[in-house]
Structure 1
Amino acid sequence: MKPKFLKIFLSTIFSIILWIFVSFSYEYTTTFRVPINFTNIKESNTILSQSSNEINLTIKGQGWVLAQISSVAESYFQISTNEKVGIQHADVREALSENSWLNPSVQVVMLSPAVVDYAIERLNSKVVPILTDIKIDIEEGYGIVSDIILNPDSVKIFGPVTLMNTIHDVSTKPLQLTNIDEDISTEIVLKPLEYIKYEKEITRIEFSVQKLVDKTFENVPVKVENVPNLRTLELFPPHINITLRGGLVNLGVMRTDSIKATVDFNDAFLDSLGKINPKILIPNFTTLTNVNPKTLKYIIKQN
């Protein structure tokens, strides 16, 4: 039983191989697209524009040869610029000889476009700022408690002079961060620009996120400003309690002297109610939620 099965199996495999061999021996016609790659460009020059980015090729040949051509992972249709500058015109059929990946046994039935127009210009470089395209969604009860840092925040770009004169900044690819409840440090890819190269194609965004809490700072002294000579402004009370909302860690290390409370003598001098409101200066990334008392009584004395 086993020898019979093996005989049938081997016969089937042989038939398949024979069929493939015979089939690939026939001639076929196929069409595919190949991206254009310009060669022989001076280091000081670059491509400014081109009428087409790819060549449509229809070729005829044996199946084996066509399969070999199709298997080439990264084929480019090479067009030599011969180190010329300015507006140029390339005859695509004449450029066939520069593309060694095209087996000489195949017949080029059709190619499109027949002519590729392109322009070569002097290469220039400059440094431009990076703009972010980021949407940040913070988890409820949390908040951003630091500056959003982009590192680097600028990049050196290279491109043709005419195009470079129109570019004043570059942008990152869109990035969406959702339900964030911890510090963020992540790379962002710069959005590609045609005919422009980046010295570095990525940047990094960093910021701190903490749970938001309230903290009351008691007995914050109120400083009197702009007091003229021979005058004194006495406040009642001279200290106030201030409640801030901010990051748990940040508020934990914050002291009373991190907050500034002031009143202006001139405000008291022009006041007719006998009470003035202190001005509060709080640290970055905190929110003022309460001041107690909100108004202060005062007495102006002459020395």
Structure 2
Amino acid sequence: MKNYVSLLVSFSFAFILWLVVNLNGEYEENFKAEILVKNIPTEKSLKSDYPENINLKVKGQGWKILPIYFFYHPKIIIDLANIQKNLNIRLVNNHRVMFILPSGVKVVSVEPETLSIELDKKATKKVPIVLDFEIKKNGYDFAYPPRLNPDSVTITGAESILEKIQNIKTGKIIIEKEQKYEIVKLPLVNPNKRLITLSNETVEVIYSVDQIAEREFNLPVQVINLPQDKEVILFPPEIKVVLRGALSSLVELEYKPNEQDKNLKAFVDYRDVVSDKTGLVKPQVIVPENFKLISFSPEGLSYIIRQK
């Protein structure tokens, strides 16, 4: 046991001695350096993207370089104060460029040697938020359009870039089961965090997923805008309407003529009747917001106009 401990101590001492001798030497090593841009003029925004990292070759004693391997991340800061036009910036020996490296470590070379910086007028734009989703369960869909809070976001960046952006998507949500009522918070997907800023980073989504079904209704057809001295008799007086929607909502949906329900209704306009030259007038159907009209029949109604 004593021999084992002595051997271990001797080995450790030898290794430390070897490490001290070698780390005192001078080395050249390659690393990735992060690029940071600061002091962009307030009325300007970056128009062109730039690499997130570039190749950096440095030189220094091993003791100085060693921290970069473990916890020190090289950075290159580019100062754009008072810049009003596009320019090519040489990264080495430039008063606008600062290298953040451990003391005693020097820059040998960078690749690429120059960066192209393009500026444009800063602009803001309000765009809708679009839900990115996938419903895995066959035969199921949203019981009603998902509600997003907020439903839009203000984006800021170069005017020429914002012109091409029509909406901002959420992070994708995958729905694998029936959800009667669910509230989730989703991140917004920024097309380019270095060039565009968003007024908020998340959105609240309220949704319900239910089995989708179809149901047939017999709806009486009303005549609107009818003069007091006229009467229109339709043949047939009602139509069959097929709606698609969430099963639970379809079961509860009813036609209530006495309540003058405007959400489920079939009608023809008297003005369309008197201007008709075919002998058939097409009814119009209004359905609730969360349902889809699949079909109605007949699509044309014959009629008689009578004086009261």
TM-score (norm 2): 0.70
Structure 1 pair 289/113, CA: closer, same or farther in 2 (3 Å)?
A: closer
Structure 1 pair 294/30, CA: closer, same or farther in 2 (3 Å)?
A: closer
2:168 paired residue number: 171
Question: What CA deviation, in whole Å up to 9, does each residue of 1:75-96 have, x standing for no partner?
Answer: 3112333533323454433248
Is the 1:128–1:169 contact (alpha carbons within 8 Å) kept by the matching residues of 2?
Answer: no
Question: What CA deviation, in whole Å up to 9, does each residue of 1:125-146 have, x standing for no partner?
Answer: 3123136373533522323221
2:123 paired residue number: 125
Residue 63 of structure 1: how far off its partner (Å): 1.7
Matched residue of 2:78: which SS?
strand
1:146 paired residue number: 144
Residue 9 of structure 1: how far off its partner (Å): 3.5
Greater shift in the superposed pair: 42-51 or 144-153: 42-51
Is the 2:190–2:197 contact (alpha carbons within 8 Å) kept by the matching residues of 1?
Answer: no
Note if 1:209 corresponds to 2:206: no
Is the 1:237–1:297 contact (alpha carbons within 8 Å) kept by the matching residues of 2?
Answer: yes
1:32 paired residue number: 31
Q: CA RMSD of the aligned region, Å?
A: 4.3
2:10 paired residue number: 11
Matches within 5 A, 1:1-303: 2-49=1-48, 54-95=53-94, 98-104=98-104, 106-120=105-119, 124-130=122-128, 132=130, 134-137=132-135, 139-161=137-159, 163-164=160-161, 166-172=163-169, 175=172, 177=174, 179=176, 181-182=178-179, 183=181, 185-193=184-192, 195-213=195-213, 221-225=220-224, 227=226, 230-232=229-231, 244-257=243-256, 258=261, 259-262=264-267, 266=273, 280-287=285-292, 303=308
Q: Distance in 2 between matches of 1:75 and 1:26?
A: 21
Is the 1:225–1:263 contact (alpha carbons within 8 Å) kept by the matching residues of 2?
Answer: yes
Q: Which runs of 5+ in 1 are unaligned?
A: none
Q: Which runs of 5+ in 2 are unaligned?
A: none
Greater shift in the superposed pair: 285-294 or 139-148: 285-294
Q: Distance in 2 between matches of 1:271 and 1:47?
A: 62
Residue 221 of structure 1: how far off its partner (Å): 4.8
Residue 67 of structure 1: how far off its partner (Å): 1.0
Residue 44 of structure 1: how far off its partner (Å): 4.2
Is the 1:133–1:173 contact (alpha carbons within 8 Å) kept by the matching residues of 2?
Answer: yes
Percent identity of the aligned residues? 24
Alignment size in residue pairs: 295
Q: Distance in 2 between matches of 1:31 and 1:277?
A: 76
Question: What CA deviation, in whole Å up to 9, does each residue of 1:135-188 have, x standing for no partner?
Answer: 533522323221243433332222245x35634534326736354532554414
Matched residue of 1:99: which SS?
strand
Matched residue of 1:98: which SS?
strand
Residue 30 of structure 1: how far off its partner (Å): 0.7
Structure 1 pair 216/71, CA: closer, same or farther in 2 (3 Å)?
A: same
Structure 1 pair 207/234, CA: closer, same or farther in 2 (3 Å)?
A: same
Q: Distance in 1 between matches of 2:167 and 2:295?
A: 43
Structure number, greater radius of gyration: 1
Matched residue of 1:93: which SS?
coil
Structure 1 pair 111/286, CA: closer, same or farther in 2 (3 Å)?
A: closer
